Amino acid sequence: MDRRKFLKNSSLTLTGIAASKLLLGQESIFSFNPEFKGKRPNILFIMTDQQFAGAMSNAGNKNLKTPAMDYIAANGMRFEKSYCPTPLCVPSRSSMFTGMYPHEINVPINNMKAEWDTKQYPYMGKIMAKAGYDTGYVGKWHLPALPEDINTHGFEYIKYAKDNRIDALVDGACRDFMMEKREKPFLLVSSFVNPHDICQWARGDEMLNDHLGEAPAPEDCPELPANFEIPELEPDILRLMQTYSPTTYPTTDWDEGKWRQYRWAYYRLIEMVDARIQKVLDALKESGQEENTIIIFTSDHGDGHGAHKWNQKQVLYEESARVPLMVSWKGTIEGGSVNNKEVVSTGIDLIPTMCDIAGVVAPAYLKGSSFKNLALGKKEPTWREYTVIETEFCQSKESFHIKGRCVRTENFKYMVYDKGNLHEQLFDMLKDPGETNNLACKSAYQKQLVRHRRHLVKWMKETSDEFTLPC
């Protein structure tokens, strides 16, 4: 056997780390898992932009119909407590595609320049290519790397890697990738823009209004959420932020009718992107690879869509920070199952999960954990007690130097901001899922408050976070 054939064959097997070193021509960042058995599945990673976890009909939302997302849920597991690493596009995506927290790679805002050593902390595409996967990326990019710089991000097949107005092109390019004849398994990222265009709707974009059509009368639109009003004992910096960014938050003088129309437009944008996702799922079936493909579905962050009179993101409330996460493997994962116990992070847990699926041990520097076994219905007794979400308020690439941190445990949620007069919020998420009753100032909950502060301090030390805890 000549050298070329040897390298090709070695990339298709799990014979050990020595083969991967030959294949890569360098020291590998991980080793193959000797306990892995069977054929390695493909991974189809579908991502929307700015979709709150509750904005799907399979999550019980009666204001929209999402048959494609429902199909993924019907053939897999939906994670109820899934959170983005930060509720803002570029830092969230940078975290998702490196497995690092935003502050660790110095991408706290929408800065399009990579501020970390991509050799030390490589992109997802690079990691999975080294694991022996064909890698593809189609659709919205918004990552601090040039799409054409394949040597940096590692996605060998890349199409329409832009930031806006490309959803109609995504499914066709995904279909082309999945129809290719190949010997290796694939990782394909199918990244959609919407419902992110709700930002433009709020600003009165006439082109978008023409695309969606005229909003119905307010009384014919979805009702206001139960947590529509601004809660008592809310950190004052949040409403000040709305005045700092009037183009981001053009909603401060909206009446209830306008908010109801906003919610109507948001749900219509989700239905539109769901139809595009359906075409990707149809292409997967047509390729004959559905039963050997794990589908992971999520969004980079959520949208306030009227809760607490908030639109867009950046704030740490549930609607902006909690995102959909579904894992489907037809015939293998129990269909229609729901995990409502473990708190999962789409920032640090995504790459460890993909490595687990690929049959390799994740790079040692990653702090996240694989949720593959959770998706398979297996217990993970050592799963972390909490996850942390971070935020830094900004206007595009300009930081306001106002930061926040959130600790989400199984039943409580603690939020703290480093500026303003009132800094902290604590919510009992079992009794108060709408985050309307701040318990941070109540004596009966001081033990919980101290407990969550300690979690945050511990996490800050472990991740070298320089956030200033005002308390």
By the 8 A CB rule, do 140 and 150 touch? no
**Average pLDDT for the chain:** 92
Tell me the per-residue pLDDT of 73-88, one tens digit each, with 9 for 90 and over: 999 999 999 999 999 9
Is 440 among the domain residues? yes
Q: In this structure, are 180 and 45 located in the same domain?
A: yes
- Rg value, the chain, Cα: 22
What six digits make up the tokens of 315? 């704030």
Q: In this structure, are 293 and 438 located in the same domain?
A: no
- Angle, CA of 401, 404 and 408, to the nearest 5°: 165
Q: In this structure, are 424 and 347 located in the same domain?
A: no
Q: In this structure, are 66 and 175 located in the same domain?
A: yes
pLDDT at 30: 66
By the 8 A CB rule, do 76 and 337 touch? yes
Q: Which domain holds residue 403?
A: 387-463
CATH of the domain at 453: 3.30.1120.10
Q: In this structure, are 150 and 266 located in the same domain?
A: yes
Q: Can you tell me whether residue 97 is helix, strand or coil? A: coil
In the block, tokens 């308020």 appear at 393
pLDDT at 29: 64
Q: In this structure, are 269 and 407 located in the same domain?
A: no
> Residue 329 contacts by C-beta under 8 Å, 6 or more apart in sequence?
41, 75, 76, 293, 294, 295, 375
Is 206 among the domain residues? no
Beta pairing class for 325-328 and 76-79 = antiparallel
pTM of the model: 0.93
Q: In this structure, are 355 and 409 located in the same domain?
A: no
Is 438 among the domain residues? yes
Tell me the per-residue pLDDT of 385-409, one tens digit each, with 9 for 90 and over: 999 999 999 988 899 999 999 999 9
Number of domains comprising the chain: 2
What six digits make up the tokens of 301? 């962050």
CATH of the domain at 55: 3.40.720.10
Looking at 375, 403, 426, the residue that finishes a domain is 375
Q: In this structure, are 392 and 366 located in the same domain?
A: no
Q: In this structure, are 315 and 391 located in the same domain?
A: no
Looking at 375, 396, 421, the residue that finishes a domain is 375
- Directed axis angle between helix 67-74 and helix 256-286, to 10°? 60
Is 380 among the domain residues? no
Looking at 321, 355, 375, the residue that finishes a domain is 375
Q: In this structure, are 367 and 394 located in the same domain?
A: no
Is 468 among the domain residues? no
Is 161 among the domain residues? yes
Q: Which of 318, 368, 362 is nearest to 346 (CA)?
A: 368
Is 470 among the domain residues? no
What six digits make up the tokens of 11? 């990339």
Q: In this structure, are 266 and 358 located in the same domain?
A: yes
Tell me the per-residue pLDDT of 155-208, one tens digit each, with 9 for 90 and over: 999 999 998 889 999 999 999 999 999 999 999 999 999 999 999 999 998 777
What is the distance between the alpha carbons of residues 322 and 302, in angstroms, rounded to a whole number?
6
Is 16 among the domain residues? no
Q: How confident is the model at residue 429 (pLDDT cuts 50, 70, 90)?
A: very high
Q: In this structure, are 157 and 296 located in the same domain?
A: yes
Q: Can you tell me whether residue 299 is helix, strand or coil? A: strand
